[in-house]
Amino acid sequence: MRELALLAATASLLAAAPALAQTQQQRALGTQSQTGSPPPTDPATPAAGLGSTATRGDALTAAGFVRAAATSDLYEMEASRLAEQRSQNEQVKRFAQHMLRDHGKTTGELKGMLPQLQGVSAQQMATSLDRQHQALLEQLQGAQGAEFDRAFARQQVQSHQAAVDLFRAYAQSGDDARLKQWASQTLPSLEGHLREAQQLQRGTQG
């Protein structure tokens, strides 16, 4: 009798398992719809999340890296021009001017390298933002005052972390020796930008 009761209990649990899993999935989807949060990104992917324009494999090819780096530069310059116009915070304005200068320089260097890179054409240099970066810029365009400063600083931390991940990955595992050297030489500047952006974010909180 006890064996029959145990078998019956086990069968009941197995029958309930799919329903429980479905309920948990529905709760997760419900939470996502309420918060608007997207599914989590893979933390092992370079430039995961904001600023990501390529998969890990694509970002390690010369063409993929050039496209991702050029898009990142273009976004930085567009966002920084907007910060110069919109912000009343001197710290934000100085940071934006610094970004315009430095990212304009890296864009020029990247363009100058194109003739020496095999399998990479001028079409890889972004002339317009992708949907992800355009959405970030539109968030800034919709903000004013202190809200703008906080949004700009937050985006700068996230985008520079993505750029650091991208450049570090290519410097270590990229497929073009000349481009790997350039990524390695540029990386310390991007790491400096990230530290400045983190400081800016602390300064615009509250």
* DSSP result, 99-122: HHHHHHHHHHHHHHHGGGSTT--G
* Coil/strand/helix, residue 143: coil
Within-domain flag for 33: no
Within-domain flag for 173: yes
How much is the pTM?
Answer: 0.74
- Please count the structural domains in the chain: 1
| The pLDDT of residue 206 | 65
Q: Kindly report which listed range (83-87, 120-124, 145-149, 199-203) carries the lowest average pLDDT score.
A: 120-124
Within-domain flag for 28: no
Q: Are 114 and 62 in contact (CB under 8 A)?
A: no
Convert the pLDDT of each residue in 40-52 to its tens digit.
Answer: 333 333 333 444 4
Q: What is the mean pLDDT of the chain?
A: 80
Query: What single letter denotes the amino acid at residue 206?
Result: G
Within-domain flag for 24: no
Within-domain flag for 172: yes
Task: Please give the residue that has the higher pLDDT: either 21 or 103.
Answer: 103
Q: Are 53 and 68 in contact (CB under 8 A)?
A: yes
- CATH number for the domain spanning 97: value is 1.20.1260.10
Q: How far apart are CA 95 and CA 138, in angstroms?
A: 20
| The pLDDT of residue 78 | 97
Q: For residue 66, what are the domain limits?
A: 56-204
Within-domain flag for 167: yes
Convert the pLDDT of each residue in 40-95 to its tens digit.
Answer: 333 333 333 444 445 667 889 999 999 999 999 999 999 999 999 999 999 999 99
- 186 burial via Cβ count (<10 Å: 0-12, 13-18, 19+): buried
Convert the pLDDT of each residue in 8-31 to its tens digit.
Answer: 444 444 344 433 334 344 433 333
153 — pLDDT class (breaks 50, 70, 90): very high
Is the per-residue pLDDT at 178 higher than 80? Answer: yes
For the chain, percent of residues with pLDDT exceeding 70: 72
Task: Please give the residue that has the higher pLDDT: either 203 or 28.
Answer: 203
36 — pLDDT class (breaks 50, 70, 90): very low
Residue (of 135, 132, 107) closest to 122 by Cα position: 107
Within-domain flag for 108: yes
Block residue for tokens 């197995």: 14
Within-domain flag for 200: yes
State both tokens at 162: 């993505």
For residue 148, the number of C-alpha atoms closer than 13 Å in the C-beta half-sphere is 21
| The pLDDT of residue 46 | 37
Is the per-residue pLDDT at 1 higher than 60? Answer: no
Cβ neighbors of 71 (< 8 A, separation 6 or more) are 53, 126, 129, 130, 133
